[in-house]
Amino acid sequence: MLTTIQGKMKRLWKDEKGLGMLEIILIIAVIVIIAVIFREQLSNIVKNLLSKAGSKTDEFMDGE
């Protein structure tokens, strides 16, 4: 019985089904954690970029 359990455990350990999905989930989790930690800095960067884009668009549309 012990050898049967050991054999099943070895097969389970070597089974790589679903490993790609686990890696993707872990990468997404790390990205979300980083985004949560740096959310204020990221928000400031996005606001700055959008304001620059808006001012450049206004300059272009006004013909300056």
pTM value surpassing 0.75: no
Q: Treating both helix axes as pointing N-terminal to C-terminal, what angle do 19-37 and 39-62 enclose, rounded to 10 degrees? A: 80
C-alpha–C-alpha distance, residues 9 and 54, integer Å: 60
pLDDT at 64 over 90: no
According to the model, what pLDDT value does residue 54 have?
86
According to the model, what pLDDT value does residue 1 have?
73
Q: What is the pLDDT of residues 9-62, one digit of tens each?
A: 787 777 767 667 788 899 999 999 998 999 999 899 999 999 998 888 888 888
Could you tell me if 35 and 42 are in contact, meaning their C-beta atoms sit under 8 angstroms apart? yes
Angle, alpha carbons 13-18-22 (nearest 5°): 95
31: buried, middle or exposed (CB in 10 Å: 19+, 13-18, 0-12)? exposed
